[in-house]
Structure 1
């Protein structure tokens, strides 16, 4: 989820002043959940989910208030759909991190027959997604209120397999450190089918960049490092990997797949035909960086 940090701790008028909300903006819901303070704020035709943090507030996701406007607001959620260039027809989907449900909502519309498991730690977030962000379970969709790592371990015991996995869990500050380690990624890898795809939402400006990148490389081998240079992107990058057993598709193959996806993704403002040129396997980090492990994951220091 988007991590645009906002220097504010108090909900009502101060929130609206410090994040640039107009006088017509409105905080329509607040809740102190088990893990954080949650607010839903409306501004300029957008409805946004906000987490209050010690260092300031974090906008997690926004959605257009017009329920007929299907466009994804932020580039990171659009970029996640780049994973479809590796598997254009997923049938078993796992999403770790619900937030405002923008990505699960789109995937449900695109693939109504696909089975989808969604994992969210905070029951308060699940309630907000249902009540304020048009999230509805279908017979093909299930939501587990659980820690993402615990869910993966239990899924392995049940011999579950997924062909499209999205890692999008954020505390508001960053990804929980136990969901970044080599051991965790190896567990997730075991959930992937032969043609499985893993898409991870991370940050290009994080001091963890090299450590994260080297961790993914050691588990999966080469991966697509997907970044878009634009103001709205706020430093997000998307890591896209296969299961590590098969070569990544060529740019030509992805361009062909993109052509078949353009029409279906257009309503969501996903310019999929532009993505193959932006997805690179070049290592642009320090390859000597120490990978993150269960014994070495100093996210608080880095």
Structure 2
């Protein structure tokens, strides 16, 4: 029976964290593949976890053990009948849909019941264990559950994604869920010892019933590290190193702190983590407020954020483990932990983008962590504490919060125009006045366009779109004296419109309404363009797939947010859509500038699938003309592209497997 308990816990936790990246890979491309979409996915997982813990608490409290067992077995059978997990195309977003709520509905319809039942397993199985083995401490099963979650999370990018397609992973996951349903159903129906246990547990519960202050503190200690996790992940992937693999690292650290704190009390030391928070909080706030203070590159910023996540989560989870109740109150305790996680997820995923115009969650969560840990140090005064710990804690968090808020009030701010929505924060900022004053559009810290404000320079194509870049060469190579039809995936500041001539038709595809508003209001590329301009709002691939062939002379694909990769725009199916909209002699230009990934082999394999020739274009930066270094791949007729200097044909890439909607892996293209 002990093996069955442990096996059920391990399998459920492993599947719980395996399904997250699997379903994410299926549906995130429909929503732009952004970090914001992943944040909404995490919100769904947190809320469903809360519902699972609520179910465990209520059924354990109000149902007889036998009725609870039959109810749970019936739900397991129902969930098994909903497999495999395949999202319906009816959930694909259209213009005007709220991406956040649509994504939540899609996840609920696709994996809602299986994920809900997996979420119930931890507290429910630990409750059964405590009933059948009175006097035992089931909290190590919670550490085991988090260890299995860690294995599930790490095995996906390292073991499963590089070898299996999405359909194969979905099939294996469904088989794993079927095995889990058998294990959990057998465990539910075999609990003979539970019929005599409730009386003893009820007496224990009455004797040690926690106060409302206990419950609120449990909730707060779970909510704050959730906000730290989600806010730091968003900041790390959007501003420091937007590599999708780094979405995994903060979650690994978060789970590791749960494992350490609930495995043994020896891992959490107040004398270490309280001073660490005192040092890291002002450092992190300063670096996020003034990005120039952040070390360059990926290693040191990632290390700083990782240490911060570990410190705050370790402190909060350490205090949470210190305040855990007797096993009789186990389900109520886990319910408040799940409630805290859901509150943190709702605040970060739904409320913050609507009430803030910038990314303030990380700063607020750092200060909140200091305050909550300080309150936890005061809680349960009857417990032995280190000498002078209360006074030190009070001075620590009161002084620190005062200093931080005072510093925030006197820090100079850089004038800028900014707004925020589901897709992130968009800012417009002008450089100092002078002969070459420039207006810049950024998404997070990633530049999405610049424009000279001098009248004679404001129509110059800048940043990645200079005349010697792949974009400029594609425009020049496809001009034949007649009007030109150009498609652009990714509007930015509208810089590509600098190439338009009277009679041309330029059609832009943009997923973020804020970018469209800012490009039209604060930049003049679109206004100055004498061609016919068309704007299609929505995910470019979905919009193009629904349109009749456009017969583009050039189709430029530049929908990358920094170094993150919208995988769904680089698959064979996506290239099939592109070529359907291009003229036979048209040019497809793919912007692949990236500090961490070499995407040229992926594009070469896609071009090979359609028997097309791919050329690499790399240009250097030219500050006088406002252009930056950029790497493009041009796919078109050889005789049109060969004459241009700086182009060379991409070599074959036999070691890279072609990307499809069913398969992609970043491991094989990392620099």
Q: TM-score, normalised by structure 1?
A: 0.74
The structure with the larger Rg is: 2
Cα gap change, 1:248 to 1:162, in 2 (>3 Å): same
Runs of 4+ displaced beyond 4 Å: 4-13, 15-20, 229-235, 299-302
Partner of 2:665: 298
1:32 aligns with 2:420: yes
Deviation track 1:10-48 (CA, whole Å, cap 9, x = no partner) reads 99962576699xxx9943201002211111122241211
- Any conservation in 1 of the 2:571–2:659 contact (CA below 8 Å)? yes
1:183 aligns with 2:576: no
1:121 aligns with 2:511: yes
- Any conservation in 2 of the 1:76–1:238 contact (CA below 8 Å)? no
1:225 aligns with 2:616: yes
Give the 3-state SS of the residue equivalent to 2:586 in structure 1.
Answer: strand
Partner of 2:254: none
Give the superposition deviation at 1:139: 7.2
1:74 aligns with 2:463: yes
Partner of 1:214: 605
Partner of 1:264: none
- The structure whose residues are more often helix, as a share, is 2
Give the superposition deviation at 1:299: 4.5
Distance 1:39 1:10 in 2: 19
Give the 3-state SS of the residue equivalent to 1:238 in structure 2.
Answer: strand
Give the superposition deviation at 1:171: 2.6
Cα gap change, 1:287 to 1:16, in 2 (>3 Å): same
Cα gap change, 1:185 to 1:282, in 2 (>3 Å): closer
Partner of 1:260: none
Distance 1:95 1:194 in 2: 18
Distance 1:220 1:188 in 2: 14
Equivalent position to 1:43, from 420, 431, 439: 431
Distance 2:507 2:291 in 1: 34
- The structure whose residues are more often strand, as a share, is 1
- Any conservation in 1 of the 2:287–2:294 contact (CA below 8 Å)? no
Q: Which runs of 5+ in 1 are unaligned?
A: 255-275
Partner of 2:649: 281
Equivalent position to 2:520, from 119, 124, 130: 130
Give the 3-state SS of the residue equivalent to 1:223 in structure 2.
Answer: strand
Partner of 1:91: 484
Q: Which runs of 5+ in 2 are unaligned?
A: 1-237, 242-283, 297-411
Give the superposition deviation at 1:292: 1.2
Cα gap change, 1:191 to 1:224, in 2 (>3 Å): same
Partner of 2:538: 146
